[in-house]
Amino acid sequence: MKLMIPVNPDGTSDARFGRAHWVAVAEVADGEIAAWQVHEVSWDVLHDEGTHGAHHARVMKFITDQELEAVVSAEMGAGMARMLHAAKLPILPSRPGDAKAAVLAAVADPGQEPWRAHNVIPLG
């Protein structure tokens, strides 16, 4: 499974999704991380340089280009969540701390509490 998680330079998960500066793309196979690549996306800067629709399109292009099957996130705006749900892209819950551990936990525990709207950050 190929997933994305927002990350900090120290390898911890970042709570910001649409405003992340760095994201990691992970490939998980047989319960282990088979590949891990960090990308500087600068969405924290780009977020306010245009409309929300343009920013969401930028994020979706990255997701499509990377051929992602799910995202791991603690929080995101309502519009971003709607876009991902419309694209039928699962939003798996993240946890604070080590980003690789958060990805493995999100994939490994199908019984964990699903991502819910209470995690949405109101926009504006």
The predicted-structure confidence for 70-105, as pLDDT tens digits, reads as follows 999 988 888 888 899 999 999 998 888 999 999 999
Torsion of CA 34, 10, 91, 85, to 10 degrees: -110
The total number of structural domains in the chain stands at 1
In total, the chain counts a number of residues equal to 124
Q: What is the mean pLDDT of the chain?
A: 87
pLDDT at 67: 97
Beta strands in 9-101 (DSSP E): 22-29, 32-40, 70-73, 76-77, 91-93
Query: Has residue 123 been placed in a domain?
Result: no
Give the range of the structural domain holding residue 98, as residue numbers without chain letter.
2-108
Query: Has residue 118 been placed in a domain?
Result: no
CATH number for 49? 3.30.420.130
Query: Has residue 114 been placed in a domain?
Result: no
Query: Has residue 117 been placed in a domain?
Result: no
Q: Which ranges of the chain have pLDDT less than 70?
A: 110-124
pLDDT at 103: 95
Query: Has residue 91 been placed in a domain?
Result: yes
